[in-house]
Amino acid sequence: GKVKSVCIPHVRPASTIKRYAYIDIWGKGVEEKALQLNGTEMDGHKLVVTLPLRPMKKTRRRALKNDRYRRSEIMIVRGYDTSLP
């Protein structure tokens, strides 16, 4: 699949990254492929992969709203180079 966008919430002022991310992936069979990563390790961290309960736009909007009240910011990455580790 093709990564459309990555949204990684983080808390200011320390810019501490939260323990989750929203990733939009387009393509055939991407849901099944992404779910296969559930339980695997990346750089010593266990991955937990779930499908969104609602469409990504509503989920991202809610995250932005919730983080605003906690004085957080959202970092959105687009055009991620998939050749990077």
Kindly report whether the global pTM for this prediction surpasses the value 0.75.
no
Domain boundaries, the chain: 2-78
Judge contact between 12 and 73, C-beta under 8 A. Answer: yes
Nearest alpha-carbon partner for 71 in 9, 7, 21, 5: 9
pLDDT at res. 72: 47
Judge contact between 49 and 35, C-beta under 8 A. Answer: yes
pLDDT, mean of each 10-residue run, the chain (85 residues): 79 67 84 86 82 63 60 52 57
pLDDT at res. 31: 85
The secondary structure of residue 56, as a DSSP letter, is H
6-15: burial string, b at 16+ Cβ within 10 Å, e else: bbebeeeeee
